[in-house]
């Protein structure tokens, strides 16, 4: 499995005029989870800058209680403040980690920018310790650049 090979599928999902925005996001989450073996939970969070909270959007994976996350809390909340990718090779080593499931071993969060504003992020949990590489970061930046076209 080569992440580069998946890019065309992402552009095809974005270009599908038969799907609403939320359906495209769900399709992306499902596609990524089904095609990258160590992407065990894939979801989008969207920012409300007035309340300084993130709100869960479409996702694929186990149900989560974390539907609203304050900026600064957990990995996602930190990315909302920093506007930077955050790769966590081992979630047990993070002080400011919000545990979603005992099976989650690592996490990657990449911010989603529209017109230079961080409107949200893609969040991926893995049941594997330290699976994420720079290739994952670049690929997820590409995914978000495509998703940004929807807004």
Residue 96: the pLDDT is 65
Residues 6+ apart with CB under 8 A from 13: 19, 24, 27, 28, 31
CA distance 128 to 37: 10
As a whole number of angstroms, the distance between CA 122 and CA 120 comes to 7
DSSP codes, 83-119: -S-EEES-GGG-TT-----TT--EEEEEEEEETTEEE
21-68 pLDDT per residue, tens = 999 999 999 999 999 999 999 999 999 999 999 999 999 999 998 999
What are the residue ranges spanned by the domains of the chain?
3-150
**For range 133-149, the mean pLDDT:** 98
**pLDDT at residue 114 in the model:** 97
Has residue 138 got a pLDDT over 70? yes
Residue 132's pLDDT band (cuts 50, 70, 90): very high
> How confident is the model over 86-99, as pLDDT tens digits?
999 998 887 766 76
In percent, how much of the chain has pLDDT > 90?
87
| Superfamily of domain 3-150, CATH level 4 | GAF domain (3.30.450.40)
């Amino acid at each position: 499995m080569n992440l580069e090979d998946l890019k065309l599928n992402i552009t095809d999902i974005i270009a599908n005029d038969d799907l609403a925005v939320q359906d495209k996001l769900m399709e992306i989450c499902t596609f990524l989870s089904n095609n990258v073996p160590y992407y065990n939970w894939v979801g989008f969070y969207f920012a409300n800058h007035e309340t300084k909270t993130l709100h869960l959007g479409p996702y694929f994976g186990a149900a989560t209680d974390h539907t609203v996350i304050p900026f600064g809390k957990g990995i996602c909340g930190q990315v909302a403040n920093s506007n930077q990718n955050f790769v966590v090779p081992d979630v047990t080593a993070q002080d400011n980690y919000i545990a979603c499931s005992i099976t989650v071993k690592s996490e990657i969060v990449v911010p989603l920018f529209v017109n230079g504003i961080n409107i949200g992020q893609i969040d991926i949990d893995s049941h594997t310790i330290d699976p994420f590489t720079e290739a994952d970061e670049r690929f997820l930046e590409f995914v978000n650049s495509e998703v940004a076209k929807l807004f």
